[in-house]
A and B are shown apart, each in its own frame.
Chain A
């Protein structure tokens, strides 16, 4: 999951640094991600992982690092019953 998230950030995060070199807990906003880019990352994550981020999760800390995004996705998947 980590590498899939990293690829989505590379495609949509518009970072000013090499995404491949980012540590899982590196601050994506410090790496150049704007609020608008974080919106695109969120939509791309929803497409890729077939989840929907509720309004309560549309905050800075959820998208501030690869590990934070991974934790949020795991939380969303745990909330969604597998059919």
Chain B
């Protein structure tokens, strides 16, 4: 009984945000071909580029999934018209099939200010499309941080 009360109290203080995005693999392939390193190094972390490189070049499908992850993360962060550098939202690969999103710089600061934590990421690709979904918990104990929640 006491456990049930604690669960209710916790659910009253927590909410979730979700972000999703879809990216054309061909568009990413075109960007690599046209802009090369300027495109790669401006928008992706070194770890992301390493994870997308099979030794025979960058795999556009993997890179497209990472761009989708960044955009999905932005949808969770809800920065409005504030500039959030793309490289401050990096996809980290943990062995085959498991990835997380790692925030740094302004993205990490905004997440903290908004009470966002426990980010979870899933990415996928098939043929010409790559997609990503990001979910994070919002700590509503600081309700002023979320404009969707009235105090």
Identify the A interface with B (CB < 8 A): 14, 34-37, 39-40, 43, 46, 55-61
Question: Cβ of B83 and Cβ of A36 under 8 Å apart?
Answer: no
B81 in contact with A36 (CB, 8 Å) = no
Q: Is the CB of A59 within 8 A of B81?
A: yes
61-85 of chain B: CB within 8 A of chain A? 67, 71, 74, 81-85
The one of B34, B82, B85 in contact with A40, judged by C-beta atoms closer than 8 angstroms, is B34
Check if A39 sits within 8 Å of B83, measured CB to CB.
Answer: no
In the complex, which of the residues A43, A56, A58, A60 contacts B35, with contact meaning CB atoms closer than 8 Å? A43
| Chain A residue at minimum C-beta to C-beta distance from B64 | A36
Q: Do the beta carbons of B86 and A36 come within 8 Å of each other?
A: no
* Residues of the A chain whose Cβ atoms lie less than 8 Å from the Cβ of B34: 40, 43
The answer to whether A61 touches B43, judged by C-beta atoms less than 8 angstroms apart, is no
Chain A residues whose C-beta falls within 8 Å of the C-beta of B21 in the assembled complex: 35
9 extra A-B contacts, CB within 8 A, seeds A36-B27, A40-B31, A59-B83: A35-B74, A36-B24, A36-B31, A40-B34, A40-B35, A43-B31, A55-B83, A55-B85, A57-B83
Q: Nearest residue in B to A55 (C-beta to C-beta)?
A: B85
Query: How near does chain A come to B133, taking the closest CB pair, in angstroms?
Result: 16
Query: Tally of A-B residue pairs with Cβ under 8 A?
Result: 45
| Interface residue range, chain B | 20 to 34
Do B85 and A36 have beta carbons less than 8 Å apart?
no
Known: A14-B27, A39-B31, A40-B31. A59 touches B71 (CB 8 A): no
Residues on the B chain within 8 Å of A35, using CB: 21, 71, 74
Nearest Cβ distance between residue A68 and chain B, in whole angstroms? 11
Find B67's partner among A36, A43, A56, A61 (CB 8 Å cutoff): A36
In whole angstroms, how far apart are the Cα atoms of A57 and B27 in the complex?
Answer: 23
Which residues of chain B have C-beta atoms less than 8 A from A56's C-beta?
83
Bound complex: CA A37 to CA B71 (Å) = 12
Nearest Cβ on chain B to A33's Cβ, whole angstroms: 11
B71 contacts across to A, CB distance below 8 A: 35-36
Contact, CB under 8 Å: A58 / B27: no
Closest chain B residue to A64, Cβ basis: B81
Q: Do B23 and A61 touch (CB < 8 A)? A: no
Q: Mark B13-32, 1 if CB is under 8 A from A, else 0.
A: 00000000101100110110
